[in-house]
Homo-oligomer: A and B are copies of this chain.
Amino acid sequence: MSQHRHPGAPGRAGAVPALPDLPEATVARLPEYLRALHNLADTGHETVSSEGLAGAAGVNSAKLRKDLSHLGSYGTRGVGYDVSLLIDQIEYVLGLTQRRAVALVGVGNLGHALAGYDGFASRGFRIAALFDADAGRVGEEINGLIVRHIDELARVAVEEAIAIGVIATPAPAAQAVADQLVAVGVTSILNFAPCVLSVPEGVDVRKVDLAIELQILSFHEHRKASLTALPATGGSALTALPGGLAVTEPQEAIGT
């Protein structure tokens, strides 16, 4: 892309601009770059090279440059990237220039913790409402918010302009909750319940399953054990073995 023209930059005139078409893998990494950039800004850095930012974000620099090039990019050859310019750019693309309202459904064990999680507020979101189906929990105050009955979802969703629904109910309740969220116009759902949700086209679902993460780690433990236990090898054959799943330095390791 020649010069600094690019689709959907901040400072758009008039109509909402179309966003650049970003590869899904790139979208998933942008928040990580953003976090690293905020750290850099907080420690007084005004400029950073692709090498430096990539290191802070745990990826290699080729991948970082490729990702940023999709945004139209704001680097200066021979110099690097302007930290605060890049922050603005990524925040714009991710839609973080507005603070989105989140509704959390299910205030059991996990939901309780999510309701109090600082990381949401500090990274662009506002927990605007808590819901539960259990009448015994309705009325409870968590972190300054009153738990409401799920039947109030429709009214509150409009009042609070809910943009994202978080499901933290037991699995058997999750699909019904998803249906209710969709019915009131929510088109983005983060699902912590260990089950598959079926939703109409145009609704995005992301899933976080804590046990699945452990099971994936368990596979790698199992594999490492089966390698070290190879006949007539004994102890720490790990690094010596060919094709070992030995993981290279900064994270990203097994396909995060």
| A interface, CB within 8 angstroms of B | 8, 15-19, 21-22, 24-25, 27-28, 30-32, 34-36, 56-58, 93-96, 100, 102, 109-110, 112-114, 116-120, 122-125, 163-164, 187-191, 194-199, 201-227, 229-231, 238-239, 243-251, 253-256
Contacts and interface: CB of A to CB of B under 8 A. Distances in A.
Contact of A116 (B109, B191, B195, B205): B109
A228 to B, nearest CB: 9
B94 A248 contact: no
A58 to B, nearest CB: 4
A212 B117 contact: no
Contacts of A250: 196-198
Nearest to A189: B217
Contacts of A124: 211, 214-215, 218
Nearest to A15: B231
Contacts of A205: 247, 251, 253-254
Contacts of A201: 238-239, 246-249
B187 A24 contact: no
Nearest to A22: B219
